[in-house]
A and B are shown apart, each in its own frame.
Chain A
Amino acid sequence: MNDTPHIQLKGVKKRFGSKLVLDGVDLTIRRGESVVIIGGSGTGKSVTLKCVLGILRADEGSIHVAGEDVTRASGSKRDAYLRKFGMLFQGGALFDSLSIWENVAFGLIQGRGLPRKQARETAIEKLAMVGLSADIANLSPAELSGGMQKRVGLARAIAANPEILFFDEPTTGLDPIMADVINKLIASTVRDLGVTAVSITHDMVSARRISSRIAMLYKGRIIWDGPTDSIDNSGNPYVDQFIRGSAEGPIRMEVRS
């Protein structure tokens, strides 16, 4: 049972109009792993996550979650496999018409039909897990700072006890200290809950902190994949250039002069 990969992508291709964004992504993620996908802007990191979640539909290839083919899942089958997931969005993506606790409890109330009172208790519990007090439960998202919104987003992602957590650029837009706080929070959450985690980022500090394995996406393909410890000795010039953050190397930025 535990030998089946938790998430498996095989030859996933996705094109938007004439632009090929994913050109055959192969990636296998085992249960309990924390994988970070690195890569420059526009290399298809977000698209990869959205294909797994069925927000975007892959044109070719297959996606399996816990051994089940979900490539073309729809309706109630899709709802069922989406219950395994929790996702932290880049901007938090909190619902601004709802209060903080209603945001955290949203999946419990709308998705699972839990009574509001019980859902509120769970929401406050989850807020405490990400270091937020019950005082802010009735505020609206706009009243919180960026870092706090990220925490609320994390609380919402873990509210329904998912098996798999997705993090989309968890540290983008935060100051270095808050970024470190969020990194630690993610690492401890993943460890404590025993979930499988997939993050996408171009922040190498964050990638090293939260991952056990790193995969690099370049031009719609995974060009390197290995344990986090070995990334400095990857022997791959693309990876080396990326982690050095240098303009010199095989990766050419498409900058028009």
Chain B
Amino acid sequence: MSANENILSSNWNIFAAIGRVVLAFLAGTGRLAVFAGIAISHIVRPPIYWQLVLHQMLRIGYFSLPVVGLTAFFTGAVLCLQIYIGGNRYGAEAFVPQIVVLGITRELGPVIAGLMMAGRVSAAIAAEIGTMRVTEQIDALTTLATNPFKYLVVPRIVAAVVTLPILVAVADSIGVFGGYIVGTRSLGFNGAVYINNTMNFVTAGDVRSGLIKASVFGFIIALMGCYSGFHSKGGAQGVGAATTQAVVSASILILAANYLMTSFFFSE
């Protein structure tokens, strides 16, 4: 009897544990949704501090060019190699340029740039805003009649949403170039033919879908950085946890959003 009760109660403990996790998840999702809602309501309501937006665009965009360019180059190069090897088995190696440009513009350009920026920008935003939170600088903003959302969150989100597509456009070009280098230098493609095949095949829609994805990724990156920073607690450890949380959650959300957008854009 008592053994039965023990089993029963331990079962309930499992349910209680699952319940707690689910509740915490739902509460977190709700807080994030409210945060995003407030942020968007401030984006559509003037004033917007354009000078801060420009400053953030410089920090997010310009200083990320080297890292995004390098990753795009190697991604294009390795994509070209693998497709050549795979295509070779079916005698389809002539399609390498077309598949490289499709893969880069539709998926890898935006996703690789998005993930690199999640590591670089989300983390930096979370650390900066998190430190401002724990040293009461965000409270100080409020007492100086300055809305922290307008001053901190909106400039970062607007800058990321505008800047990410530009970065991805650069990443697309460099990625295709990486494929071109490998194709012509080690796989024996004719340079003019490679470029010709690439340009004739790719459509404006392929590039456009990648750039729209990039904008959404920019929103996710800045939002998760700001949200995690805003809700960081304690001292140095809390800021560290917020930074980790920003990068991990931004990366997962980027991959999930990427799947949803791909299935939406190319459903027909």
Contact = CB atoms under 8 A, between A and B. Distances in A.
A95 B142 contact: no
A93 B144 contact: no
B140 A89 contact: yes
Contact of A95 (B137, B143, B145, B147): B137
A86 interface: yes
A87 B140 contact: yes
Interface in B111-163: 132, 135-137, 139-140, 142-147, 151
Most buried by A among B139, B140, B143, B151: B143
A82 interface: yes
A62 B11 CA distance: 46
Contacts of A160: 144
Interface string B83-123: 00000000000000000000000000000000000000000
Interface in A70-112: 79, 82-83, 85-87, 89-91, 93-96, 106-107, 110-112
A106 B142 contact: no
B139 A55 contact: yes
A87 B143 contact: yes
B142 A89 contact: no
A146 interface: no
Contacts of A55: 139, 142-143
Contact of A111 (B132, B135, B136, B146): B146
A54 interface: yes
Contact of B142 (A53, A91, A94, A96): A53
Contacts of A53: 139, 142-143
Contacts, number: 51
Interface in A177-217: none
A75 B137 CA distance: 20
A110 B144 contact: yes
B156 to A, nearest CB: 13
Contacts of B142: 53-55, 82
A83 B139 contact: no
B144 A111 contact: yes
A127 to B, nearest CB: 16
Nearest to A75: B147
Nearest to B146: A110
A50 interface: yes
Nearest to B139: A55
A86 B142 CA distance: 10
B139 A107 contact: no
A89 to B, nearest CB: 5
Interface in A110-152: 110-112
B145 A111 contact: yes
B195 to A, nearest CB: 45
B143 to A, nearest CB: 4
A86 B143 contact: yes
B145 A93 contact: no
Given A91-B135, A110-B151, A85 B140 contact: no
A140 to B, nearest CB: 14
A93 B146 contact: no
A188 to B, nearest CB: 22
Interface string B193-222: 000000000000000000000000000000
Interface string B156-178: 00000000000000000000000
Contact of B146 (A89, A94, A96, A106): A106
B135 to A, nearest CB: 6
A166 B145 CA distance: 15
B136 A82 contact: no
Contacts of A95: 132, 137, 140
Contacts of B146: 106-107, 110-111
A82 to B, nearest CB: 5
Given A93-B136, A166-B143, 10 more contacts: A53-B143, A82-B142, A82-B143, A89-B140, A93-B135, A93-B139, A93-B140, A94-B140, A96-B137, A110-B146
29 contacts: A50-B139, A53-B142, A53-B143, A54-B142, A55-B142, A55-B143, A79-B145, A82-B143, A83-B145, A85-B143, A86-B143, A89-B136, A89-B139, A91-B135, A93-B135, A93-B136, A93-B137, A94-B140, A95-B137, A95-B140, A106-B146, A110-B144, A110-B145, A110-B146, A110-B151, A111-B146, A156-B144, A160-B144, A166-B143
Closest 9 interchain pairs by CB? A111-B145, A107-B144, A93-B140, A93-B136, A110-B146, A87-B143, A89-B136, A93-B137, A79-B145
